[in-house]
Each structure stands twice: as structure tokens, then as C-alpha cells.
């Protein structure tokens, strides 16, 4: 048989594996077995040792003392194994040097590791099989604390100074313990998470949130009229933008993450340059968008970043030039109520708005009304475009979700899955499914083309205010009226994964970071919190 030809692989990679040690509480019996010739004659019947057991015992004792015994060297893992067994009821201990490295957090190893462990007293957890390890929950908490204290090495002194000067007492993150319920778990896990903003500080409640698709930034707008740009990994404010005279109602990052647009109760929109290098460290708005006669409750960038659209309580939407803030068009009639929702199609051919129970499709470059989405009988609360921009799904107080053709305005699918208002909707990243969250405390996924129900999620029920697919499409996050953020698996069927508890009032928005490693939630308790998916999945 000819030899199998293997692909030629580059010899420039290696894999590092953590080695684990296991030790049982029951000691091992150490024996030495030796082969030797015996006497060539049996002992006489009157041999004095024949009925004397002490002679045999003495011989065995001497043999064990001189020939056998456990190893005398104790490495770091041996010391950790003994610590776990001596300070718990576990029948066996599992340890690795990785656990010790986590405890030391980059510091030098102590000369006396045993004393170090006994003085530090790290927590031990025992699983259902009786195996003891250092607490994984505490390891995650230590990681969270280290991340919040982290300052990037590539920041120069001036940048670090600017970052600290930007932070007053209201800008400092808080590391707080919440609760995490996992699928099938009998008790919650104490779960450390970062609060980016909270209404106990001078800023007041958070009234708007945006997550950048570039980098690690979250923007919050608050009752004090200030926009703050947070690094959600460190939990620190990097930029403060002061210019609005009333609370910030809406926020949107530019596609490249270098600018942010804000709308306010002062009837103004503002465009800010986040790369402002002026030496005075005071960020002034790059452009002020003037013209609305009501709160600017919706704001969005076009995919190319060249246009900005705003929606207002004055029953109009407006289109602006992002480069200089010039007003291009006012989209008034036929809006008959506040314009709460506005979004561009991916190819920038269309601008979609919703007002009352109607949806509208506009040409953003001429201001012409192209189509009307007519069919809902009550207010539209939520809207989401398919990834290809050809369809849009809406959720309404009339208990339905509806999928429409953007090209023709035709209603393609009516989703009648709920007994309460549909408050949040979204397309899956591949466009095949839609998710709806409702006042009836259920979340439903359906085929976006046929309307056939895929799954209904109703474990740990509560009124659903927000739903969002992860960028991979493997998970759905939901925010509910009980103050919880829940995670559902959609990749291997459909089941409840986890529930994060920490908010003290209903959750009104949830969003995934671009790497799917964190969920950002905002609540009527006035706070914004981050929930780490990576560490949660390590526990599942």
C-alpha cells in the first residue's frame, strides 16, 4: 500500500497544554516486591520462629522501612493538592500550576508556598463527584478585577493623563457582585460584573446607549446631557462630550468608530470627532444639527458614514450631511406621530422610518417617499432590516410581527405567535430566521420566509423588552422586566443557557459586542452593565 501523503504543514506553531494533577485522600500503600532464592530446606518442626508472629512483623517492617515509601519531593502542585485536601472534605483534589499562576497574578513565586496558601486561604469548591479544586468562581472574579485595573501599554503619558482627567466621580466603574443561574444548576453562582454607569452618581440615569462595532467602546448618554465613551474591557471612561443642555435621547457610532452622533431633549443633534487631538482636552461638537422642534429620539449613520438621519417628537425625520452637518431634507408628512425608529439599508438606497402604526421607505438622496408599509393596527415599537437589506421585520402593539419587502412594500409574512405586544424584533445574521420578544413573556424564532415557528423560549418567564442575536447567530440575548439578562442557545437546538441577575429594574436594551464575548445591557435602574460570555461558557 502506498504511503499516505500528508499535507506539508508549516513548522512554526506549537500548542501549550495545561497539566493537571490528581490526588486521592485515601493514601496509597507502597510496596516493594523482590525476587530471591529461599532456603533449600524447610525449617524444623521445632523452629522457634514458626509460631512467633513478631518475627514476621519485624521482618516486614524492616523491609518497608528500607525498601519502599512514597516520594519525598513535593512540587508546587503537590503543595496545592495537600492544601485542598487539608482544608476541605473533598475525597480527591485536582490542581495545576495555572491555578497557582492566577493566584500570584504575575508576582514572584513565594519561597514558602505552603505558608503563602495557608495565609491567603483561597476558596475551594467541590463538585458533585467529590473532587475539590480552587474556586473557579473566585478565579473569574480575580480576572474581572485585574481587567478593570488595566491600562494599555501603548498609551503614552499624555493619553493616560487625558483619560484620568476625563473621569470625575461619576465616571468611575464599579465592580459589583450579581448572580448567575445556569441551565440545570440548583443554586446561583456569585457573578462579578462591571457597571459602566449608574444613577447613584452625579450623571443621573442612563437614557441612551450605543456599542461600537470597532474596538472596545460603549457610549452612554445621561440625564445630565453628557455623552461618555467607555472602554468596556477596563470599565473606564476615555472621553467626556459636553454640549447638550438636556438629557441625551439617542446615540450612534459612525461605521468606522471615529465619530459619534447624539440626539437630545434640547431639540439638537450633534456630531463629535472622537479623534480630536486639540491640546485643550475639551471636546466640542464638530457639527450641531439644528432644525427640529422636539426631542431628537432617533439618530443613525448611513453605512458609508456620509449621511446622518434623525427622528424627532416633532413628527419629522431629517437627513444631514455628516461631513459638515448640512441639512439636506426634512421628511414630514405622512408621519402622524413621533418618529421613534430610523435606519438605512446596507446599500444606502433606502431610509426606513416608523411613526405610529406605519412604516415608510424613503430615498435618502432625494427625500422622496417611495413606499408605505401599511398593515399594523397599533403602534410599531421595533424594526430590523435583513442583512441583505431586502426585507424588514416590525413588531407592534397589535400582537404581531410582520416581514415586509423593502423593494415593493408588500407584507410577506405575518407572525401571530404572541398574546401581548411585540416589543422587540431582529433578524438572524444569515437572514433565515427572525426573533420576536413580547409582553406575554415569551421569545419566539420563526422562519423569516414562511413564518413557520422554529422555537419558543419560555423558561424563567418575564416580560421581554429587548432581544438580540449574537453576531455568530449561535445565541440570543434578552432583557426582561424582572431585571435579568437571559441567554439562549440557537446553534444546537434551542435551550436556556444562563440568566444574569444584577439590575434592580427592568432591562430596556441588550447588545452584543462585536467579538460576542460580552453583552451590554441598560436598565430603568439607570445603569449600564457588562456581562462576560466567555467566562460564563467556561462554567456551562
Binned at pLDDT 50, 70 and 90, residue 177 comes out as confident
Q: What is the pLDDT of residue 1?
A: 45
Reported as a single tens digit per residue, the pLDDT across 95-133 is: 888 888 878 876 788 888 889 888 888 888 888 788 998
Q: Is residue 511 scored above 90 in pLDDT?
A: yes
Binned at pLDDT 50, 70 and 90, residue 283 comes out as confident
Q: What is the pLDDT of residue 266?
A: 98
Closest CA to 294 of 266, 270, 318, 314: 314
Q: Kindly tell me the burial class for residue 259, based on how many C-beta atoms sit within 10 Å of its own C-beta (0-12, 13-18, 19 or more).
A: buried
One-character DSSP codes across 241-310: EE--SS-EEEEEE-TTSSEEEEEETTS-EEEEETT---TT-----SEEE---SS-EEEEEE-TTSSEEEE
Measured between alpha carbons, how far is 127 from 76 in angstroms, rounded to an integer? 23
Domain ranges of the chain: 75-134
Contact 353, 342 (CB under 8 A): yes
Q: What is the pLDDT of residue 36?
A: 46
Q: What is the pLDDT of residue 151?
A: 41
Q: What is the pLDDT of residue 20?
A: 80
Q: Is residue 46 scored above 70 in pLDDT?
A: no
| Residue 482 backbone phi and psi in degrees, to 5 | -85, 5
| pLDDT > 90: percent of the chain | 56
Q: Kindly tell me the burial class for residue 394, based on how many C-beta atoms sit within 10 Å of its own C-beta (0-12, 13-18, 19 or more).
A: buried
Reported as a single tens digit per residue, the pLDDT across 265-277 is: 999 999 999 987 6
Reported as a single tens digit per residue, the pLDDT across 69-86 is: 455 678 888 889 999 999
Q: Kindly tell me the burial class for residue 69, based on how many C-beta atoms sit within 10 Å of its own C-beta (0-12, 13-18, 19 or more).
A: exposed
Q: What is the pLDDT of residue 279?
A: 52
Measured between alpha carbons, how far is 309 from 34 in angstroms, rounded to an integer? 89
Contact 335, 360 (CB under 8 A): yes
Q: Which residue has the cell 398593515?
A: 375
> How many Cα atoms within 13 Å fall on the side-chain side of residue 369?
16
Q: What is the pLDDT of residue 141?
A: 60
Using alpha carbons, list the distances in angstroms from residue 277 to 133, 159, 160, 227, 391: 50, 10, 14, 18, 41
- Cell matching residue 224: 445630565
Using alpha carbons, list the distances in angstroms from residue 527 to 199, 205, 216, 521: 6, 7, 18, 8
Q: Is residue 280 scored above 90 in pLDDT?
A: no
Amino acid at each position: 500500500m502506498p504511503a499516505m501523503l500528508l499535507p506539508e504543514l508549516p513548522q512554526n506553531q506549537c500548542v501549550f497544554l495545561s497539566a493537571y494533577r490528581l490526588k486521592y485522600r485515601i493514601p496509597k500503600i507502597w510496596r516493594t516486591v523482590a525476587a530471591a532464592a529461599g532456603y533449600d530446606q524447610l525449617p524444623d518442626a521445632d523452629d522457634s520462629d514458626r509460631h512467633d508472629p513478631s518475627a514476621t512483623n519485624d521482618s516486614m517492617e524492616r523491609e518497608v522501612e528500607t525498601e519502599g515509601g512514597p516520594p519525598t519531593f513535593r512540587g508546587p502542585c503537590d503543595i496545592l493538592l495537600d492544601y485542598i485536601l487539608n482544608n476541605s472534605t473533598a475525597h480527591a483534589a485536582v490542581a495545576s500550576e495555572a491555578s497557582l499562576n492566577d493566584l500570584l497574578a504575575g508576582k514572584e513565586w513565594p519561597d514558602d508556598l505552603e505558608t503563602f496558601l495557608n495565609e491567603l486561604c483561597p476558596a475551594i469548591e467541590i463538585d458533585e463527584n467529590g473532587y475539590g479544586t480552587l474556586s473557579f468562581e473566585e478565579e473569574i472574579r480575580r480576572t474581572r478585577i485585574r481587567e478593570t485595573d488595566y491600562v494599555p501599554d501603548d498609551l503614552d503619558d499624555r493619553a493616560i493623563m487625558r483619560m484620568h482627567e476625563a473621569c470625575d466621580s461619576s465616571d468611575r466603574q464599579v465592580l459589583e457582585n450579581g448572580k448567575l443561574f445556569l441551565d440545570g444548576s440548583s443554586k446561583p453562582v456569585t457573578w462579578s460584573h462591571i457597571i459602566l454607569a449608574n444613577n447613584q452618581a452625579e450623571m443621573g440615569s442612563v437614557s441612551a446607549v450605543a456599542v461600537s462595532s470597532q474596538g472596545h467602546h460603549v457610549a452612554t448618554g445621561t440625564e445630565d446631557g453628557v455623552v461618555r465613551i467607555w472602554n468596556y474591557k477596563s470599565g473606564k471612561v476615555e472621553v467626556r462630550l459636553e454640549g447638550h443642555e438636556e438629557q441625551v435621547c439617542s446615540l450612534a457610532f459612525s461605521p468606522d468608530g471615529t465619530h459619534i452622533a447624539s440626539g437630545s431633549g434640547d431639540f439638537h443633534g450633534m456630531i463629535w470627532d472622537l479623534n480630536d487631538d486639540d491640546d485643550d482636552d475639551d471636546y466640542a461638537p464638530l457639527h450641531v444639527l439644528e432644525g427640529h422642534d422636539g426631542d431628537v429620539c432617533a439618530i443613525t449613520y448611513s453605512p458609508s458614514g456620509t449621511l446622518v438621519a434623525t427622528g424627532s417628537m416633532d413628527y419629522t425625520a431629517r437627513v444631514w450631511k455628516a461631513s459638515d452637518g448640512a441639512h439636506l431634507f426634512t421628511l414630514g408628512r405622512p408621519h402622524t406621530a413621533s418618529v421613534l425608529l430610523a435606519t438605512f439599508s446596507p446599500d444606502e438606497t433606502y431610509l426606513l422610518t416608523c411613526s405610529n402604526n406605519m412604516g415608510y421607505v424613503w430615498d435618502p438622496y432625494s427625500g422622496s417617499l417611495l413606499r408605505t408599509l401599511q398593515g399594523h393596527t397599533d403602534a410599531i415599537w421595533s424594526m430590523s432590516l435583513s442583512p441583505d437589506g431586502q426585507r424588514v421585520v416590525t413588531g407592534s402593539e397589535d400582537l404581531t410581527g410582520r416581514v415586509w419587502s423593502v423593494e415593493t412594500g408588500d407584507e410577506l409574512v405575518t407572525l401571530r405567535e404572541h398574546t401581548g405586544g411585540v416589543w422587540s424584533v431582529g433578524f438572524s445574521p444569515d437572514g433565515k430566521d427572525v426573533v420576536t420578544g413580547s409582553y406575554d413573556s415569551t421569545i419566539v424564532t420563526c422562519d423569516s420566509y414562511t413564518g413557520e415557528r422554529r422555537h419558543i423560549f419560555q423558561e424563567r418567564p418575564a416580560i421581554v423588552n429587548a432581544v438580540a442575536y449574537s453576531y455568530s447567530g449561535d445565541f440570543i440575548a434578552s432583557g426582561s422586566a424582572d431585571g435579568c439578562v437571559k441567554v439562549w442557545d440557537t446553534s444546537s437546538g434551542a435551550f436556556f443557557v444562563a440568566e444574569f441577575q444584577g439590575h434592580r429594574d427592568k432591562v430596556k436594551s441588550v447588545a452584543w459586542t462585536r467579538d460576542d464575548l460580552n453583552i451590554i445591557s441598560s436598565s430603568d435602574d439607570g445603569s449600564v452593565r457588562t456581562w462576560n460570555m466567555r467566562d460564563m461558557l467556561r462554567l456551562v
